[in-house]
Amino acid sequence: MHLANIKIWNFRKIGTSDDDSEIKVDNPGIDLNFNPNLNVIIGENDSGKTAIIDAIRSILGTQSREYQYFDERDFYRKNKEDTRTRQLRIECLFRGFSDQEAGHFLEWIHFNDAGEYELRVWLQAYQRDNRVLFNTKAGKDENGVQLDGNARDLLRATYLKPLRDAESELSPGYKSRLAQILKSNPIFKDQFDKGKDKEKHVLEKYIKKANDRVEGYFNEDSLKEDAEHDIKEGTPGGGKISKKVSEHLEKFFHTHETPDPVFKISGDELGSVLRSLALSLEDNKSGLGSLNLLFIAAELLLLQGENHQGLRLALIEELEAHLHPQAQLRVISALQETQKDLKSQFILSTHSTTLASKLDLDNLILCFQGQAYPMKKGETGLEDEDYEFLERFLDDTKSNLFFAKGVLLVEGDAENLLLPALAEIIGKPLHKHGVSIVNVGSKALLRYAKIFKRKEKGTLPIKVAVVTDLDIALYSDQGVIKSKIRKQGGEKAVPSPNAEQKKLETTFDSDNGNIKVFSSSLWTMEHDLASGDLSKFIYKAVRIAQLITGWSKKGEYKSPSSERIVKQIENADKQFQEWINNGFDSRRIAFEIYKPLDNKSASKAVTAQWLAKLLMDRHKEDMTATQPSNHDTMKHLLETDPQVRYLVNAINHVTTDQDHKNASNG
Amino acid sequence: MQVTDNDIERLEQIFFGGNGSFEDEKGERYEFLKCFDKSLDVQACPGSGKTTTLLAKLYLLSEKMPFEDGSGVCVLTHTNVGIDEIKKRLGPKADRLFQYPNFFGTIQSFVDRFLVIPFYIQRNDKRPNFIDIDMARNALLSTFVPEMSKDHRNDVLWFLRSHEKIQRSLVFRKNEDGSFALYKGISEKLVEIKKPRNRAKEYRDWTETEKKRIYTDLETIKKYVLKERGILSYDDAFMYAQQYFELYPQIKKAFCKRFSYVFIDEMQDTYFHQDKIIKELFGEDVIIQRIGDLNQAIMNDNNSESAWTTDNPMKITGSRRVSQPIANILRTVALEGDPELTGWDGCEIPAYIIPYSTEKEPDVLERFVELIKKHELDNVNEYERPIKAVGWVGTEKTTLTIGQYFVGFDKGGNKKRLRLTNLKTALSTIDVSKPNEFHNAIISVIIEVLSLSGIKNPLSKDGIRSYHKSSFVSFLKADHSDLWFEFNTKVAGWVKSQSDKNLAEIFPEIENYLKDSFFPTLDFKLNDKGVNFISDKNIDLGIQEKSNSENIFQSGTECLDHIKVEVNNVHSVKGETHTATLYLETSYQSKTCGEYLIDQLCGSPYAPKKKDTYKKQCLKIAHVGMSRPTHLLCVALNENLVNDNRENLEKNGWCFYPPLEQGH
């Protein structure tokens, strides 16, 4: 049995999906599926992950039986000025019942369309006259019935508080958690002898013995020799202390009924023995981090107990609170590797975004602005088959991808190298805007952008720009530049840029506008830039790249000297002038510039790298010029050149704050 | 599970307070008490203390609870009386026996809770409102289905009214091809529509087309009652239960995991359809122990037979209720007599036959009272158990019935049931002195009024469903808490004032409150039907008869008039223990009990024969009736029969009162 889904209405940060704030069947603010094993909710502070954990905790209760209550602050309000809603609701759905577990819930269970057991449990709380009333019910129908208290106990979760206090949890005391954990182990169950009398537990016998000794110690002023314990004759005992206590007591009581004070390690019944135990690592003063690990291990002891009936769900909040990053990674990796064997379900929350990179997408739930987004198969727009490849591809970049404000998804090195420079020049440096640029290396792999889409509708609340080429290739027919014929749907024809553009949009664009495709105007980025105002710059870059590429083909890997560069630039200027003199139009010039890139005599990556440098150099000149002319600056150039426009638009798209509301509702 | 002597000692302390034990000569009770590891049947004689023994077993189990695998114990009985008795006797000691995950209740309530209600919800996404045979029958006759014309409905009602049986047991059942059709009952035939014959001279049946239409309309009404009004008869319930595990056979495994022990008390009262469900649900892993007495298998409807058959049961043959002289009689007056049956020692009062002459039946009770006096059983302080006179057949006109012995015998006396014809009827059919019942009745009335007025629950799925009790109450609590408070205060007031005034006086108050205050506050506009339901002053008594007489006989003779004899039919005294019981012979299917039973009364065991249904029934009834008393058993027999068999009767230990003349 595991928690398969939770729906939340009007709880803390979580409202309703339609902003109506009236609770309806179909408008939960969060409708979140969990997988049966490991679920890690990652979100920045205040993103709503604690609300999710607390919602689960309030409806299911915890093994340590903290008292659950609601107060008015648990009720959602849209803004600070708004009044709070009067009702909230939390609904859980359980699946994966064994026959035995189904037996426990026969009165409340139902079957889904697939004929599998399901149990629906919900809590509704409402405010009335400054009090909060709530009730918990179960059943498939709208009204449901109360869940019997003992049956509810079977749904309790093991809850690990934000781990701030592992030391006290593991220390002796009346409310010792350690004692609770131990008590549930069969070796601490009551044993009876034949005559139905309770048998003394081994620990009880031990403590009894120890207590006797302690008592003895406090009865004697001076101890006798005891070889076994290495005690010398005449060692002072605690007798004086207990006498003193007795004297005081006699003053408080009537003399004849004064009870004798007794010093003890603990009561000698098993319960108090267990309560007086402490669990610690052997070196004395353990760091909080290792204590926390110890504590988690102790809790897992309980959860994994063979005898544990009911839900095996561990809620671990703020894993990072006192675990240093390496320890977190180890815990997460350990859980991820053994999740299937553990037979338990884990729901963890953390704001440590770096953890994301260690997690399989199947285990990952992202949390933004009171919304949760499981990234597992079936929840996103990405095809199941693509998952494995994407995982491998992303590996350590997952957190870049999912915790950026915006993502530029590019198909090749050239864009990867050039875009940051362009962004810098137009005054929107990517790092300042929290934008990640991800190079998937191939146009075909741009479909990974679908990981940002949700299965039903909507997207993650992240702006994504897919930057690609239109790829309508050209050829020269007796000096006339023409589009190559392309086979499309059985017919060969010259592709229309508009139609191609539309096609890309239908593939990539999301309804809510968060994901948008930006494509070059005709062929490739380099070609199209070469047909615009940057043609001279790109030509220079191509000439330099030709040089470097040529060397590397011969096995010489070196950078050109600045003299060589100047020479190449001069050559480029010369050649360019010649084309103009020959009356070449911009189309022809672009074709000529692109030739070396097309026939691979110049590397695109190197070209892009040099183009970026040339543009930046020029931009720096602009900035230092004493009388900058607005119309002549590189910034102006980039902003007005129609061939650069798609790149500038892409940058603008990912650096403009996204609209929260659209993000969640598609 | 091992049961030690220590366990038994402890149990005896708890159950008898040191004044008794489970010990018997043959060790039969100990054997049953100690056996936990297999399924078994126990054939227990009347007054065997089997329920106490069963309780002791359950108490042992309760000490082990909760079980490590989280499973529970399922204890099934046939009457709520039995359950209350058990709870009372165990007190808080065994509270957890009655709590989750255990089940303690009647087979019907078990089936309702675990199969019928879950399946109904699975199907309809809501809970049924009532599972009750009388409610279902009334609903069938009183439901208006929207868009069904009055004439069409009248045809259906005409048909139904002439078929009392169909009204009560009409049920949707699966045909062989998997489709559903209307059957006359769970194990009856398909419903065939035929025009009832009436006094009109010429009888012409409906045409085929008309029959088809009436059948379809009947289907529509039945469906509407089931789905929209959520009212199920017991037969409907069992069909639903059946379907539940036909559709979801995997649930059986869950039942076996949930209940590791099943105990059935009074197994002989189990019907075939009930037995079928229990057998289907609990597989071989579950330990099923069934306790009962085949000889007492008298079903509530005389037509059904007990589903209990058993080979080689464990036995408890020593009665702790009846005295040895009575036990001697019961050895042969039984379907499967047991020559080993024993009673308690130390009572010398013989069993009596009170002969009567035809038309002098009323004298019998007087004789009975005399005997009680004679044997000094009239001291209420010493003998706390009641004195009763019981017979089989109640009040039919022509033949010998209880009514002949006790003029004015009223077999009604049934407990009251809510009839939702109108407000006034509803209130007059319940025990208004019980606040809870009163409150419930008024809410039921409100739900009915809302349903009649077509007021739907806007919060329900698609907003097209009617309110039912729980949704309406939650609506009131949530959105109109002041009104809910006021309503409850009002109800409390009415309950209080009806004990001073009579119902007729507070009725207008209730009527006005609902019409002028309650519904208007909610902004619910009632239609005529709804208003009429509240205001209708006619009380519809239906099949219910007035039940004012208490059926108590008291002698007119001064020194005997302190002895109260309750006159009753045998079915209603099942399981009871009396100080003295008078068995009144009655006639059934043209013969009297005496005529059926004379051989057994004379001491020859019954040898089963085929087609001996009446005699078998009579034997079971007589066995139940005659096994009630602890001290004095009397049987009223016609003097002619007595005279003819005097010698044999005497030989079997009977005495006669008044004494017969010597010789004849």
CB A473: neighbour CB atoms within 10 A? 16
Q: What is the mean pLDDT of residues A639-645?
A: 93
Residue to substitute from B109, B251, B262, B468, interface A, most A β-carbons within 10 A: B251
Q: Which of A103, A109, A141 sits opposite B126 (nearest CB)?
A: A141
Q: What is the pLDDT of residues A272-317, one digit of tens each?
A: 888 888 777 765 555 656 666 777 777 776 666 666 778 999 898 8
Distances (CA, A) of B86 to A31, A380, B20, B44: 47, 58, 18, 18
A110, A154, A196 ranked by CB distance to B122: nearest: A110
- The whole-angstrom separation of Cα A185 and Cα B3 is 25
Identify the closest residue of chain A to B475 by CA–CA distance. A143
pLDDT at B416 over 60: no
Section B143-156 average pLDDT: 90
Contact between chains at B125 and A196 (C-beta distance less than 8 A): no
CA separation for the pair B501, B505 (Å, rounded): 6
The owner of tokens 């380099």 is: A526
Please give the average per-residue pLDDT across A610-617, as a whole number.
94
Residue B101 sits at the chain A interface (C-beta within 8 Å): yes
Cα(A448)–Cα(A121) distance, rounded to whole angstroms?
A: 37
Return d(Cα B655, Cα B375) in angstroms, integer.
13
Residues 6+ apart with CB under 8 A from A361: A375, A376, A377, A387, A390, A391, A398, A451
Residue B222 has pLDDT above 90, yes or no: yes
Rounded CA gap, A11 and A25, in Å?
15
Chains A, B: CB contacts under 8 A, how many?
99
A132 touches chain B (CB under 8 A): no
Rg (CA), chain B: 28
Backbone angles phi, psi at B207, to 5 degrees: -75, 165
Test the B interface: residue of A24, A85, A122, A140 with most B CBs within 10 Å:
A140
Q: Which residue of A has its CA nearest to B457?
A: A142
Chain B residues whose beta carbon lies within 8 Å of the beta carbon of residue A145: 127, 470
For A106, which of B258, B471, B481 is closest by C-beta distance?
B258
Flag whether residue B470 sits within 8 Å of chain A, measured between CB atoms: yes
For B85, phi then psi, to 5°, come to -55, -45
Q: Does B211 touch chain A (CB under 8 A)?
A: no
Selected for mutation to probe chain B from A24, A104, A185 (highest B CB count within 10 Å) is: A104
- The Cα–Cα gap between B286 and A422 comes to 76
**Which pLDDT value is given to residue A319?**
77
Q: Do B461 and A194 count as a contact with CB atoms less than 8 A apart?
A: no
A114 touches chain B (CB under 8 A): no
pLDDT at B395 over 90: no
Whole-angstrom distance, CA of residue B128 vs CA of residue B117: 7
DSSP helix/strand/coil, A550: helix
User: Over the stretch A56-70, which tens digit does the pLDDT of each residue have?
Assistant: 999 999 877 777 788
| Chain-chain contact of A126 with B478 (C-beta, under 8 angstroms) | yes
Task: Quote the tokens at residue A508.
Answer: 């990539």
Residue B64: list chain A partners with CB under 8 A.
none
Structure tokens at A445: 């792999």
8 A C-beta contact, residue B374 and residue B380? no
Q: Which pLDDT score, from 0 to 100, does residue A228 have?
A: 86
Looking at chain B, which residue has its C-alpha nearest residue A108?
A: B118
What letter does residue A81 receive in the DSSP assignment? Answer: T
How much is the average pLDDT of B618-647? 94
- Give B 472-491 residues with CB within 8 A of chain A: 474, 478, 481
The CB density around residue A218, as the number of other CB atoms within 10 Å, is 19
Amino acid at B30: Y
pLDDT tens, position by position, A74-102: 999 988 888 899 999 999 999 999 999 99
CA closest to A98 among chain B residues: B254
Residue partners of B301: CB distance under 8 A and separation at least 6: none
> Nearest Cα to A29, choosing from A12, A50, A46, A44?
A12
pLDDT of residue A291: 67
- The answer to whether residue B324 neighbours chain A at the CB level (below 8 Å) is no
User: Given this model, what pLDDT does residue A663 score?
Assistant: 41
**For chain A, what is the total number of helices (H) and then of strands (E)?**
22, 21
Residue B609 CA to residue B615 CA, distance in Å, equals 10
Interstrand relation of B587-588 and B564-569 (parallel, antiparallel or unpaired): unpaired
Of A162-171, A326-335, B233-242, which gets the smallest average pLDDT?
A: A162-171
CA distance A484 to A521: 15
Q: What's the Cα-to-Cα distance from B341 to each of B47, B570, B650, B663, rounded to whole Å?
A: 11, 22, 20, 32
Of B220-229, B264-273, B488-497, B652-661, least confident by mean pLDDT is: B488-497
Q: Rounded CA gap, A105 and A98, in Å? A: 11
CB-CB: which of B66, B69, B126 is closest to A100? B69
Q: Are B257 and A100 an interchain contact pair (Cβ–Cβ within 8 Å)?
A: yes
CB contact under 8 A, B254 and A106: yes
Q: Is the pLDDT of residue B63 over 60?
A: yes
Indicate if the pLDDT at residue B345 is higher than 70: yes
Percent of chain A with pLDDT over 70: 91
| Rounded Cα–Cα distance for residues A143 and A448 (Å) | 44
- pLDDT tens-digit series, residues A514-569: 999 999 999 999 999 999 999 999 999 999 999 999 888 888 888 889 999 999 99
Which of B3, B115, B257, B262 to mutate against chain A (most A CBs within 10 Å)? Answer: B257
CA distance B113 to chain A (A): 7
Q: How far is B483 from chain A (nearest CA, A)?
A: 15
Task: Give bridge partners of residue A365 from the DSSP assignment.
Answer: A41, A374
Hey, which residues 500-529 in chain A have their CB within 8 Å of chain B? none
Q: Of the candidates A99, A104, A115, which has its C-beta nearest B101's C-beta?
A: A104
Structure tokens at A85: 């809603």
For residue A143, the chain B residues in CB contact (below 8 A) are 126-127, 468, 470-471, 474
Q: Which two tokens stand for residue A87?
A: 């009702």
Distance between CA atoms of B583 and B580, rounded to whole angstroms? 10
Greatest CA separation for chain B: 86
CB contact under 8 A, B460 and A194: no
C-beta separation of A35 from A130 below 8 A: no
Backbone φ and ψ of B251, nearest 5°? -65, -25
**Is it the case that residue A619 has pLDDT exceeding 50?**
yes
Is B535 an interface residue toward A (CB < 8 Å)? no
ipTM reported for the complex, 2 dp: 0.76
pLDDT tens per residue, range A548-561: 998 888 888 888 89
Write down the mean pLDDT value for chain B. Answer: 87
Contact A53, A350 (CB under 8 A): no
Q: Is A627 on the interface with B (CB under 8 A)?
A: no
* pLDDT of residue B608 exceeding 50: yes
The answer to whether B70 contacts chain A (CB < 8 Å) is yes
Pairing of strands A110-111, A371-374: unpaired
Record the tokens describing residue B260, joined without a space: 């590791």
Q: How far is Cα B308 from Cα B289, in angstroms, rounded to an integer?
A: 12
Residues of A with Cβ-Cβ distance to B6 under 8 angstroms: 194-196
**Which positions ≥6 away from B151 have C-beta within 8 Å?**
none
Distances (CA, A) of A323 to A42, A170, B410: 16, 17, 82
Which residues of chain A neighbour B110 with C-beta distances below 8 Å? none
Lowest mean pLDDT among A249-253, B47-51, B358-362: A249-253
pLDDT band at B639 (very low <50, low <70, confident <90, very high): very high
Residue A117 with chain B: CB contacts under 8 Å: 254
Torsion, CA A329, CA A331, CA A332, CA A337, rounded to 10: 120
Beta bridge partners of A481: A476
Contact A314, A346 (CB under 8 A): yes
What is the reported pLDDT for B69? 85
Residue B69 CA to residue A374 CA, distance in Å, equals: 34
- Distance CA(A349)–CA(B224), nearest Å, equals 50
pLDDT above 70 covers a percentage of chain B that reads: 93
DSSP result, A400-423: HHHSSSEEEEESSHHHHHHHHHHH
Section A424-436 average pLDDT: 92
Residue contact B118–A126, C-beta within 8 A:
no
Res. B542: pLDDT tops 70: no
pLDDT of residue B543: 46
The pairing of beta strand B654-656 with beta strand B351-356 = parallel
| Nearest residue in A to B247, CA atom | A115
| CB A466, CB A409: distance < 8 Å | yes
pLDDT at A597 over 50: yes
In the prediction, which pLDDT does B44 show? 94
Cα B332 to Cα B603: distance, rounded to the nearest angstrom: 6
Q: How far apart are CA A71 and CA A125, in angstroms?
A: 10
SS (H, E, C) B220-284: HHHHHHHHHCCEECHHHHHHHHHHHHHHCCCHHHHHHHHEEEEEECCHHHCCHHHHHHHHHHCCC
Least confident among A207-211, B357-361, B412-416, B434-438: B412-416
Q: What is the pTM of this model?
A: 0.80
Token pair, residue A274, equals 């267990």
| Distance from C-alpha of A523 to C-alpha of A468, rounded to nearest angstrom | 10
Residue A454, Ramachandran bin (φ over 0: left; ψ between -120 and 50: alpha; else beta): beta
* Mutation to test the A interface, candidates B2, B65, B110, B121, most A Cβ within 10 Å: B121
Is B121 in Cβ contact with A103 (below 8 Å)?
no
Residue ranges of A 87-106 with Cβ closer than 8 A to chain B: 97-100, 102-104, 106
CB-nearest to A142 from B66, B256, B461 is B461
Residue of A nearest to B127 (CA): A141
In this predicted model, what pLDDT tens digit does every residue of B509-528 receive, in sequence order?
Answer: 888 899 889 998 888 888 98
User: In the block, which residue shows the tokens 């080979």?
Assistant: B311
What is the enclosing helix (H) or strand (E) of A313?
A: strand A313-316
Q: Does B471 touch chain A (CB under 8 A)?
A: yes
CB contact under 8 Å between B459 and A142, yes or no, is yes
Q: Could you tell me the sign of the dihedral formed by the alpha carbons of B71, B77, B80, B81, in that order?
A: negative
Chain B residues lying within 8 Å of A109, measured CB to CB:
118, 254
Say yes or no: B6 contacts chain A, CB-CB below 8 A: yes
CB contact under 8 A, B69 and A309: yes
Taking an 8 Å cut-off on Cβ atoms, the answer to whether B70 and A139 are in contact is no
Q: pLDDT at residue B502 above 80?
A: no
Q: Quick one: which of A190, A166, A171, A187 has its CA closest to A276?
A: A171
